[in-house]
Each structure stands twice: as structure tokens, then as C-alpha cells.
Chain A
Amino acid sequence: MTALLEVHGLTVTYGGVTAVRGATFDVPAGRMVGLIGPNGAGKTSLVDALTGYTRPSGGTVLFKGQDITSLAPHRRARVGLARTFQSIELFDDLTIEENLAVASQHVGLLFSLRELVSRARPVDRDAVDLALSICNLEAVARRYPAELSHGQRKLVGVARALAQRPSLVLLDEPAAGLDTDESFELGTRLRAMPAYGTSVLLIDHDMSLVLTVCDEVMVLDFGALIASAAPAQIRRDPRVIAAYLGSRGDGDDD
């Protein structure tokens, strides 16, 4: 079986700085994969490159077997690759429900003209409701983003990505700003996503969250992938511990 997302030698450079160095990995369908790395490891650059917000300087990205390396961001979203943002980027003029509805519906010229004259076609209610319930946002569906707490707004970002019914969702630090209980509750709820046909790539620097909820964990440091294994192995991997401690693992062994 081919993987859902196949990344080969992906490299991102800003000026002379290499943020992602030849990242190569697969995300299989129906899995929840974690990607961890300390601050500055290149996590967000990787997400930006995968979703078309940064032009990679090398490498290819295959999604469902199709080369999407040079596709525009909205095209990638439409083929089923959704993302969230580390900084909360919501539509402040729309209610939470509308934030999700926008993401679940594609509007072209003909659609737009038709809905002006005829009854508007109902939005994909199921996708919106499912996303609201996974993120525990039903109670605030009619509110506006500015009325919500930081943690809830973060969840709206996740819900908006889920409302697109994506095949794969890239969650960029969804737990930052949530307290420990909230982030574990979110993690637990996200575990249900593969059952609805959405694989998850969870990117975070919170190791305990990622190691607890993911099936498989990749570790990124200084732009390079240094480990990829099951959570139990990652916990013991000296290179990972070194990356997080900021000192040399082999030095500790002596």
C-alpha cells in the first residue's frame, strides 16, 4: 500500500539558513503520526512547505500519489490536505459555525450565481457538526472568535481544518496555549479522526502529548529528521534526548 503523504528530500532555505534539510518520510493512511522537535527545529517551515506557504528549494511532496510540490495552497486544501496555524488565524467576522462552514464548501462562479437566485444549498452540516463535537465547541457555535478564550480559539482552528473532511490534517502546535488537561482531552478526541477517514500529522514540541496519543513519532532537529519510530522507542532514543537536552547524548553515556 502506498502512503498517503510521501515526502522526499524536502529542503527549505531562507537566505543562507536551511530550515528543513532533506526531510524524507511517509505518512500512511489511517494513522496518527506525531512530529516533534524543539523550538527552531523547522517544524513550521516543514508544514509551510507541505501546504504550499513556502516554496521548498528542493525535494518532492506526493499526496495520494499525486505530485503536489508546486500546487497553490488552496488546491492542496481541496485535494484533502488541511492544516492549522500555530498563530491562531481565524475569520474574525464570522461566527464559529460560519468559520467551519466556509471551510467545508467550495464556491465557484456558477455556484455563486445560482445561490443568488435560488435557495442556498445547505452547507455540509455533518462535517461542521462532527468538527464542532470533536473539538467540544457545540456550545459556542454561534459566537464570534473574539468572544472565546485563547484555548477555544485554538480549537476552532483545529475544527475548521477538520470541517474540510481532509484525508490528512497537519496540526501545527494545536496544544500550545492549552493547559495539560485540555491538551490531553484534545489528543484523545483527535485519536478518533482516523476512524472518520482523516489521518493526522500532529506537530508539537510537547513530547508528552505526542508520545501519548500518536501511533508513530518522528523527531526533527535543526531541519533534519533524526528519528522515526513508535513512541516507546522514541522515549529511549539517545539522539532525541540529546536534541531536547541540548547536549550530546554520547557524552552522557561516558
Chain B
Amino acid sequence: MTTISSYLLFVLLGLGAGAAYAILGLGLVLKFRSTGVVDFGHGAVAMFAAYVFIQLRSSGVLELPWIWLPHEVTLSSQGLGTALAMLIAVAYSAVLGLILYQLVFRPIQGSSALTKVCAAVGVMLGLQAVAVLNFGTQGRSTPTILPSGIVRVAGLIVPVDRLYFAGLVVVLAAALALVYRYTRFGLATRAADENPVGASLMGLSPTRLAAWNWVLASVLAAVAGILISPIATLDPSSYTLFVVPALGVALVARFRSFAVVAATGLGLGIAQALITKLLTVWTWLPQQGLVAGLPFILIMIVMTVFTPRLAARGDQARSTNPSVGTPRAPFRTALGCFVVGVVALFLLQGSLRSALISSLVTACICLSLVVLTGYIGQVSLAQMSFAGVSAFTLTHLATDLGWPFPLPLIAAALVAVPLGVLLGLPSLRLRGVNLAIVTLAAASAMDAFVFAGGWFSGGDAGRNIGSPRLFGWDLGIARGHEYPRVIFGVFVLLVVCAVGVAVARLRMSATGRMFLAVRSNERAAAAAGINVSAAKLLAFGYASFIAGLGGCLLAYQQGNISGSSFGAFASLSLLAIAYVAGVGRIAGAVVAGVMLSPNGLFVTLADKYLHVGVYATLVAGLALTLTAIQNPDGIASTKAGARGAGDALVRLAKKFNAHGENVGAPLGPPSRFQAKAADPIEVQWSGERG
């Protein structure tokens, strides 16, 4: 085979993944244009459809998206035909999309970007968790769907199915573009996109339009999932994360142009395939991460360099920020917590003591989100990446270079600061959901380049870290058979209490006021002499330092760490539990660590006595979604979080009332205009009298 033709073969092979990115991207555009939601769960829907398809095709069993209740319905004793299985999977996906829209995304229309991000992340985690429970994590494959032969064109070997893929993408994009351009449905959706209130005054129903768009998008997700299932091994997490490159594609198209989505999606697939080829030719290229990391690099460049302003519809809505606490007497509170914590460390034994220590470590990392998301309102889906960078730096400083404790702890946490500030740079231009996408891309890029292997993270073996020793005093979690040791728990508790006090002081300080001012209103903050950019970067710096400290504690706790602890999913789950628990409050971080963290005290207890630990992710996803719908502020923000279900209903009712008021709102202004118009007339009269 000639060199040129071998390159062309890779180009064609790339069309497979590229088609999946493009079709998923088309669905993301539909969802965004109709509801302003960037659906992180879009890939999970595709994943589910692919499972349904494969199961139907291989064994004739229909998989339903729930647990406990019987979730397998046998439609046929042997597999269904490919076309029928496909049809059922697509219809299934459409219904799933409609249900998700009605239950989750319709109620939060008009909520803040953070709420929408969390709801979408909750759906994603929930679907993924159900898939893990019902299907396991073992990869599955299925025979090809499209004609798989090869044709020879001018001496080139061309796999036919890839041509079908590309053709399908072009057809779909063209069809959508035509529908949006020329049909009443498309026109109405565009109108509602431009001006929801105006559209509803014209007799269009934005919610019905959104529901249809959502169904259409879910159908596309199913198509993508089914098409790619023969060429990419199906497992819950990799298909769910297909959403990240698809987001990149949708972003390049500014969540608008279908044609750009199609072209970028295919182009991205081709670029990835070509890089795979080039790596074998240009061996000086970084062998690790380039293929997987490329989409994320693309996202970051596009969003930070070429995108001054995205039409984020969520920005129009009166944003409801999570409430923040006003900590009183932080020292006394911290002292109280310390005493309670020490007592608990002595009382608990074995796995429960470990769980308590895990809770504390998680609480520490969550405190970074209290500063960043709570105080200054910046969504970050990369906090675990900072924790990871610090954790690995710690192993290098302490184990390899032999720095004496506590120097490596502090230095490693400081290493996360410039990284955090770097990630903060996009936040100077991007807000809300757009920032969330960039940070998720950054986390995924770090996964690919830093945590997947190499000298820094030690690959599969991970890296070891010895016990911290202070003046010859062993603070480590293990000594001989003694594990976990109370003294290590006390050390962690001390660090967490200190961070807690600092975060509380920050809230009540001039810096905290400045952060809150920026969160409330950037325009007004600038008018008050606040350098908004500097304030954001400062917050990113503080937050990544705290996350870095947490990562170091995690490293000391585990003794051996590997990159898998710090993946993009870990960051997503972290934001999820921090948000559910109340991301504006220190108590929220503690609740997140103790009650919600998958390795934390409560879940471990529940698992020990009720054996429900396998459901932790599912519960986290559900809780996240429900919290986003019912209470944008999180649990810790309600009065002791104990108002009960009745109150939740009242809240929901109020929310619907609020929607009603919004519809009435356009009637307000005219009376004000009248009042204004009256003023000059009065002036004229007084002038005449004078």
C-alpha cells in the first residue's frame, strides 16, 4: 500500500467516530436552541439506546431504564432483526428524551446556569449508574449494521460503511437545516429561541416546541449510539463521555449551525484518526493522550480564543445563585467540630474510621467549590484534576526528592495554583454553562495527557507516598498492622478545620464581599472599582490551593494513588454532591463529605448494614437532579434541610406560580411608560404658569 493511500484509509476510518460526534452534536444543538440546556447527559442517552439495541438484537430482551423492578422484558426468544431492533431502540430513546424533558428540564426552564448544569450532570450520572447496575462495566460489541465490504476506487481501499456514515451525517444535517429554515416548526423554534416571551404572546408554546426538539434530539442520540456500536466497544462510561467531543463540535458551531456541526464532527474524527497514524510516523510526538485529548484542546481553544460571546439563553433568566452562609464565630465552630471529630475518630473502628477520614478529605476538596462556585459563582468541573496534580506532585516531592513534611504538602498544593489561575482565564470571557464546558474539557484533557500514564502519574501502577513525619513523629495512616490510625485522622481533621476557618473568614472579609459582588453583578462590580478579572483569578487561585491540599490528603490516605481517582467523572460527582449539599456554605461541604460522598461515612454505614453501596452513584445522580429541580440552593441552605416533603411541594407549587407571573410580566411596563410620559408634560405646564 502506498503511503498516501494508507493516510487516506485513516481519513476514512476516522469518519466513523466523526459521524457519532456530528450526530450527537446535532442533538445538542437542538436541545440548546429550544431550552438553553447544554445536556451533559446526551451521551448517556445514546449509551442507553445502544444497549437496548444490542440486547434486542442479540437476545430479544428489552432493557428498561430502572432497577429493582423487573427491567428485562423478553420480546422474542432469539434476537430480533436488525431493523426492528433499531426501530425499537430509537422509539425507546424518543420516549426517554420526552420523559427527561418533562420531569427534569421543563421545571428548571429559566433557572440559573448552575442549576441546569447540575440537573444535566445528575441525569448523566443517574443513567450511567443504572447502566452499570443493569449491564455491568464489561465492554460489549455487536456485528456490523451497514454493508461492511470494501470497494476499490482508483487503487484505494475504501471501507464502504464509513462512506455511509459520512453520507448519513450530511443528509441529517441538511434535513435539519431545511426543517429549521422552512417549516413552521423550525421557524417557531427559532422565534422562541430569540424571544420566549414574545413567542408565547404570539400563541406559540415554547414548552411544546422544546419537547418536540428534545424528542428529535434523543432520536439522533439513539442513531449515533446504534451506528457506532459495531465499531466502538460499548460500555457505560466511554459512551457517556462521547458527549465531551460532541460538545466541542457543537461549540465550534456556536450551538447554531447544523452544517458546521456536521463538518466539524467529521473533521474531528478524521483528525483523531490521522493523529493515530502520524504517531507511528513522527515518533517525537507525545505518544500519550494526543488522540483522546485533541477534542478537549479544540474546545478550549475555540471557547477562549474565538468565542467572545456565546448566545447563552440561560443568561437572560434572572439567575438564582446558591445562597451563601454568614458564618458566625468560625473559630469556636471549628473547635467544636474538631472535638466532635476526634471523639468520632476514637469511637469508630476499621472501615468506618477510614470512611470518616474519606469524608473529611472530600469535605476539604468541596470547600474549594464553596469558594469558587459558592462565593464567586464560577462553575468548575475540574476540581479533582487540581487535586490530582497536587497529589502526584506530592509523591514526587516527598518520595523521590525526600522533602521533609510539611514542605511537600504546601508546595504541592501551591503547584495547583498557577494551573487554577490558567483555567480561570476562560472565566474572564465565559459564564455559566460555557465555563462549565471548558472546565470539563480541561478535566478531560488532563485525563488524557496527565493522568492516563507517563512518568508523572506512574501509569497503572500509580505512585507511592510514604507516611508524613513531623519531628520523627509518624502521622501516617498505617503502621505495621495498625490501620487506619487515629493520629492520621486527627491530622486530616486539623487541616480541614483550618481550611474551614479560612473559608469562613474569607466569606466575612472584604475579599468575600468582593467575590459576592462579582457573583451578583459584574457590571456593577466594575463600577464599584472592583477588578472583576483579578477577583475571579484570585478565587480560582484560592480554590485550586484548597483542592490541591485535599488531593495531598487523599494521597497520604491512600498510600498509593493512580490517575483514575482524578478523572473527569470524579470532578463531576464532586460538583454534584457539593451542589446538592449546598455549595455556598461550609456546612454544605461537610454534609457533602459525610453524607453524600461515595466513600464517606453515611454511604459506608448504609452499605455495611443495608448493602446499598452499589447504588451510591445512582442516588447521587437522582439527588442532584431532584435538588436542581426543587431547590436551586442545595440542602444545607434550607432551614436545617428538615422542612419535609410537604414544604417541597409548596415550593414546587410556588415555582409554577412564578412561571405564571412571568407570562403576565409583559403587561407591567406600559403603566410605567405612562408614568414616565407624564413627567415632561407636567414640566411644560409649570413652565407656562411661570
A42 to B534, CA, bound (A): 32
In the complex, chain B residues 520-540 whose Cβ is within 8 Å of any chain A Cβ:
520-521, 523-532, 534-535, 538
A192 to B125, CA, bound (A): 60
* Chain B neighbourhood of A101, CB < 8 A: 510, 513
CB of A14 within 8 Å of the partner chain: no
CB of A129 within 8 Å of the partner chain: no
* Chain B neighbourhood of A244, CB < 8 A: 680, 683-684
Q: Are A93 and B324 within 8 A (Cβ)?
A: yes
Among the stretches A26-34, A60-68, A103-111, the one at the interface with B is: A103-111
Q: Are B513 and A73 within 8 A (Cβ)?
A: no
Among the stretches A5-13, A16-24, A202-210, A221-229, the one at the interface with B is: A202-210
Q: In the complex, which range does the number of interface residues on chain B fall in?
A: 35 or more
* Contact among A39, A102, A164 for B676, CB-based, below 8 A: A39
CB of B511 within 8 Å of the partner chain: yes
* Contact among A52, A102, A176 for B513, CB-based, below 8 A: A102
CB of A189 within 8 Å of the partner chain: no
CB of A241 within 8 Å of the partner chain: yes
* Chain A neighbourhood of B531, CB < 8 A: 72, 74
A251 to B632, CA, bound (A): 60
In the complex, chain A residues 73-112 whose Cβ is within 8 Å of any chain B Cβ:
73-74, 77-78, 82-85, 89-94, 98-99, 101-103, 105-109, 111-112
CB of A161 within 8 Å of the partner chain: yes
Query: Whole-angstrom distance from the CB of B330 to the nearest CB of chain A?
Result: 12
Residues of A within 8 A of B (CB-CB), count? 49
Q: Are B519 and A93 within 8 A (Cβ)?
A: yes
CB of A116 within 8 Å of the partner chain: yes
CB of B670 within 8 Å of the partner chain: no
* Chain A neighbourhood of B679, CB < 8 A: 205-206
Q: Are A207 and B509 within 8 A (Cβ)?
A: no
Q: Are A91 and B523 within 8 A (Cβ)?
A: no
Interface of chain B: mostly helix, strand, loop or mixed: helix
CB of A160 within 8 Å of the partner chain: yes
* Chain B neighbourhood of A116, CB < 8 A: 502, 505-506, 509, 511
A53 to B523, CA, bound (A): 8
Contacts A51-B527, A74-B529, A106-B529 known; A208 to B686 CB distance under 8 Å?
yes
* Contact among A82, A94, A164, A235 for B690, CB-based, below 8 A: A235
* Chain B neighbourhood of A102, CB < 8 A: 510, 513-514, 517, 525, 528, 530
Chain A residue, CB-CB nearest to B318: A92
* Chain B neighbourhood of A39, CB < 8 A: 676
* Contact among B511, B525, B527 for A112, CB-based, below 8 A: B511
In the complex, chain A residues 101-158 whose Cβ is within 8 Å of any chain B Cβ:
101-103, 105-109, 111-112, 115-116, 120-121, 123
Contacts A77-B529, A82-B527, A116-B506 known; A91 to B517 CB distance under 8 Å?
yes
The 0/1 profile, CB within 8 Å of B marked 1, for residues 193-221 of chain A is 00000000000011110000000000000
* Contact among A52, A93, A107, A120 for B520, CB-based, below 8 A: A93
* Chain A neighbourhood of B524, CB < 8 A: 85, 89-91, 160
* Chain A neighbourhood of B321, CB < 8 A: 93
Q: Are A107 and B510 within 8 A (Cβ)?
A: yes
A94 to B538, CA, bound (A): 20
Query: Whole-angstrom distance from the CB of A140 to the nearest CB of chain B?
Result: 17
Chain A residue, CB-CB nearest to B513: A102
Query: Whole-angstrom distance from the CB of A106 to the nearest CB of chain B?
Result: 6
A93 to B374, CA, bound (A): 11
In the complex, chain B residues 319-341 whose Cβ is within 8 Å of any chain A Cβ:
321, 323-324
* Chain B neighbourhood of A112, CB < 8 A: 509-511, 538
Q: Are B684 and A245 within 8 A (Cβ)?
A: yes
A123 to B511, CA, bound (A): 12
Query: Whole-angstrom distance from the CB of A203 to the nearest CB of chain B?
Result: 14
A99 to B186, CA, bound (A): 45
Chain B residue, CB-CB nearest to A88: B524
The listed residue with most B CB atoms (<10 A of its CB), out of A52, A74, A99, A101, is: A74
In the complex, chain B residues 444-471 whose Cβ is within 8 Å of any chain A Cβ:
none
A85 to B508, CA, bound (A): 27
CB of A38 within 8 Å of the partner chain: yes
Contacts A112-B538, A115-B511 known; A89 to B680 CB distance under 8 Å?
no
Query: Whole-angstrom distance from the CB of B495 to the nearest CB of chain A?
Result: 15
Query: Whole-angstrom distance from the CB of B252 to the nearest CB of chain A?
Result: 27
Q: Are B527 and A161 within 8 A (Cβ)?
A: yes
Contacts A90-B520, A90-B521, A235-B690 known; A77 to B676 CB distance under 8 Å?
no
* Contact among A72, A90, A161, A245 for B526, CB-based, below 8 A: A72
Q: Are B510 and A103 within 8 A (Cβ)?
A: no
Query: Whole-angstrom distance from the CB of A6 to the nearest CB of chain B?
Result: 21
User: What are 27 of the A-B contact pairs (CB < 8 Å)?
Assistant: A38-B680, A74-B526, A74-B527, A74-B530, A74-B531, A77-B527, A84-B527, A85-B524, A89-B521, A90-B520, A91-B520, A91-B524, A93-B323, A94-B517, A98-B513, A101-B513, A107-B510, A107-B511, A112-B509, A112-B538, A116-B505, A116-B509, A120-B505, A160-B528, A164-B528, A207-B683, A244-B683
Given contacts A90-B524, A112-B510, A112-B538, 9 further A-B contacts (CB under 8 A): A52-B526, A74-B528, A77-B527, A98-B516, A103-B529, A115-B505, A120-B508, A206-B683, A244-B680
Q: Which residues of A contact B (CB under 8 A)?
A: 38-39, 51-53, 72-74, 77-78, 82-85, 89-94, 98-99, 101-103, 105-109, 111-112, 115-116, 120-121, 123, 160-161, 164, 176, 205-208, 235, 241, 244-245
